[in-house]
Each structure stands twice: as structure tokens, then as C-alpha cells.
């Protein structure tokens, strides 16, 4: 299963991605997590991304495309993956299309979690409160000011992807305002339908292939039949020469008769 989860910050992409990972034994690729790890490790990419992320802006396309391209080459990807937070711009989506084409990977679906924007701020606030209560470190971009900027970024840069993937008949929209359980159920229902459609298409393809093979086997048999019919016809032609034409054997027979007559 190869999926993209699309939705604004706070839509629940991370939560649903984790559930899909557990159910389908696939890998979650979150560019946000990867960038945060790079920032924590102080890598050159991390150093470039740190300030940008803190301000709620988007990291340059070539950085995230490079991260994803490297990751898709890892052997653990063969079972499938779920992209969470990538692509986030049309050029990223185009680059991803190219990457997948080059790597001969088929994207199964893009699942959009559609949410009511006014509910997002509240969601993120409660996520922050829960994290604080658990004593976890809170993301520096989870403040109301930065969230407002991230939402604006989503609207202008990422929302066009809804049109991009719907044009390519990949988009499936789920109501992200339902409870976590309901959203999971809905995603699973959609993915099961895709699986069933794929299985039907594969069966149809296999049947068409079998029919082609059967036809190819029949063709030589027909050709052989035709050839033997032709040979028979040719033989009859020799045995019964056409009017005015002399066949070889009758010539030989005529010679014999002449010889016999000469002897007499
Ligand atoms: P996230 O955890 O997905 O909310 O991402 C956190 C931050 O990482 C974003 O606000 C961006 O600054 C950066 N980021 C993550 N994914 C991307 C991406 N695909 N393109 C550009 N920036 C990204």
C-alpha cells in the first residue's frame, strides 16, 4: 500500500498514519519528523531548516524532495509507505511523480482529511496541553501565531494539491471532523475498496492474458490444418493434371508403353 495523507496541520494525519502503519505493516514517512530529527542532530539540512520551521514557513522544495528520494531507496520501503506532510506544494507533487515513475512505484491513493479550520486551533491547543501534561517537549511551531501562519501556508501552497490529485483520479476525501476511530474506520473502508478494485483489475488482466495465450496456441494449429489442406490439394493437382497439361508420371507411363510397342 502506497499512500499520501493530505490535510492541514492538526487534521490528525500523524495519528491516522500511525494506525495505518500498524495495520498494513508499512512505513510512515513524515518530512516534519525527519526535519525535526535533522535539526536535533545538527546536520547541514537541519541547520538550514531550523529557523524556517520555527517560523512556520516551508522548507525549500529541493531539500524535502532530496530527503524523500533517499528514503524511498531504502529496502524497508518495499512493503509500502505512507507519506505524511509530503508533498506540500505542486512542484513537490510533480517531483514525487517523477521519482515514483523512475523507481517503478505505483501510488495507490491520496487520502485527504478534510477539517473545519476553526476547529484546528482548538485541536492543536489541546494537543499541546496533553503533551505538557505528559511532560513531553512541545513543538516550537505549535503556538497560535505560528499555527495561523502554517494554516495560511496550507491554504495557498498545499490546498492546490487537492485539485492536482483529483484530476489524476487519486484523491479520496474523508471527513476529518469525525472521531479518531470513525476516521480510521472510514480510511480502512476506502483502502479495502481500492484493494478489491485492484484485485478485480488484476483478475481481468490475467483472464485477458490467458485468452491471448489460448488464441496464440490455436493459431498454429489452424495454420497447420490449412497447410495440410493445401498439400492435399497440391497432391490432387499432380494426380489429376489439368486439361492439355501432361503430368510427370503419365509421361513416364507413356514412355513405358512406347518401349513395349517397340519391343513388339
Ligand atoms: P509537520 O510536522 O508536517 O507539521 O511539519 C513541520 C514543519 O516542517 C513545517 O511547518 C515545515 O516548516 C517543515 N516541513 C515539513 N514537511 C515539509 C514539506 N513537505 N515541505 C516543506 N516544508 C516542510
50-65 mean pLDDT: 95
Distance 169 CA to ligand 1 centre (A): 25
User: Helix/strand/coil (H, E, C) string of 201-257?
Assistant: HHHHHHHHHHHHHHHHHHHHHHHHHHHHHHHHHHHHHHHCCCCCCCCHHHHHHHHHH
In the chain, what is the straight-line distance between the N-terminal and C-terminal CA atoms, in Å?
98
Distance CA 21, CA 77 (A): 12
pLDDT at residue number 236: 59
Distance CA 100, CA 83 (A): 13
pLDDT at residue number 182: 97
* Atom of ligand 1 minimally distant from the CA of 86: 19
Task: Identify the residue whose C-alpha is closest to ligand 1 atom 19.
Answer: 86
pLDDT at residue number 20: 95
pLDDT at residue number 119: 85
Task: Choose one of 11, 32, 153 to mutate for the ligand 1 pocket test, by most ligand atoms within 8 angstroms of C-beta.
Answer: 32
Residue with cell 531539500: 63
Distance 25 CA to ligand 1 centre (A): 24
Question: What three-state secondary structure class fits 33?
Answer: helix
Residue 233 has pLDDT above 80, yes or no: no
Q: Cβ(45) to ligand 1 under 6 A?
A: no
Q: Evaluate whether 2 touches 108 at the Cβ level (below 8 Å).
A: yes
Residue 243 has pLDDT above 70, yes or no: no
**68: CB partners within 8 A, 6+ apart:** 29, 31, 83, 86, 96, 99
In tens, the pLDDT along 34-50 reads 999 999 999 999 999 99
Choose between 249 and 6: higher pLDDT. 6
In this structure, what DSSP letter does residue 137 have?
P
117-128 mean pLDDT: 85
Distance CA 102, CA 247 (A): 68
Residue 11 has pLDDT above 50, yes or no: yes
pLDDT at residue number 112: 97
Residue 261 has pLDDT above 80, yes or no: no
Tell which residue, 9, 11, 6, has the closest CA to residue 139: 9
Question: What three-state secondary structure class fits 138?
Answer: coil
Residue 245 has pLDDT above 50, yes or no: no
Report the predicted TM-score, pTM, of the whole model to 2 decimal places. Answer: 0.78
Residue 247 has pLDDT above 50, yes or no: no
Q: What percent of the chain has pLDDT over 70?
A: 86
Q: Nearest 5 degrees, angle CA 188-CA 204-CA 218?
A: 165
Q: Which residues are catalytic?
A: 13, 88, 127, 139, 150
**18: CB partners within 8 A, 6+ apart:** 28
- Mean pLDDT, the chain, as a whole number? 87
In tens, the pLDDT along 157-211 reads 999 999 999 999 999 999 999 999 999 999 999 999 988 988 999 999 999 999 9
Distance CA 256, CA 251 (A): 9
What are the domain boundaries of the chain? 2-209
As to burial, measured by CB atoms within 10 angstroms (0-12 exposed, 13-18 middle, 19+ buried), residue 259 is exposed
CATH class name, domain 2-209: alpha beta
Amino acid at each position: 500500500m502506497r499512500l499520501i495523507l493530505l490535510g492541514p496541520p492538526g487534521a490528525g494525519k500523524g495519528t491516522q498514519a500511525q494506525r495505518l502503519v500498524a495495520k498494513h505493516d508499512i512505513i510512515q514517512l513524515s518530512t516534519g519528523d525527519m526535519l525535526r530529527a535533522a535539526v536535533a542532530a545538527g546536520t547541514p539540512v537541519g541547520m538550514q531548516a531550523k529557523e524556517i520551521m520555527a517560523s512556520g514557513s516551508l522548507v525549500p522544495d529541493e531539500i524535502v524532495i532530496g530527503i524523500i528520494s533517499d528514503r524511498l531507496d531504502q529496502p524497508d520501503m518495499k512493503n509500502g509507505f505512507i507519506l505524511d506532510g509530503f508533498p506540500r506544494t505542486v512542484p513537490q507533487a510533480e517531483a514525487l511523480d517523477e521519482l515514483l515513475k523512475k523507481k517503478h512505484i505505483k501510488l495507490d491513493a491520496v487520502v485527504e482529511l478534510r477539517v473545519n479550520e476553526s476547529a484546528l486551533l482548538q485541536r492543536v491547543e489541546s494537543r499541546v496541553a496533553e503533551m505538557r501534561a505528559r511532560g513531553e517537549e512541545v513543538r516550537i511551531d505549535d503556538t497560535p501565531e505560528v499555527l495561523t501562519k502554517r494554516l495560511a501556508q496550507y491554504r495557498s501552497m498545499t490546498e492546490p494539491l487537492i485539485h492536482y490529485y483529483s484530476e489524476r483520479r487519486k484523491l479520496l476525501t474523508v471527513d476529518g471532523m469525525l472521531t479518531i476511530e470513525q476516521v480510521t474506520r472510514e480510511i480502512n473502508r476506502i483502502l479495502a475498496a481500492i484493494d478489491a478494485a485492484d484485485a478485480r483489475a488484476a483478475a481481468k488482466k490475467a483472464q485477458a492474458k490467458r485468452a491471448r495465450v489460448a488464441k496464440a496456441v490455436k493459431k498454429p494449429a489452424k495454420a497447420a490444418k490449412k497447410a495440410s489442406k493445401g498439400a492435399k490439394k497440391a497432391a490432387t493437382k499432380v494426380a489429376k493434371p489439368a486439361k492439355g497439361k501432361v503430368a510427370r508420371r503419365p509421361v513416364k507411363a507413356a514412355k513405358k508403353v512406347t518401349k513395349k510397342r517397340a519391343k513388339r
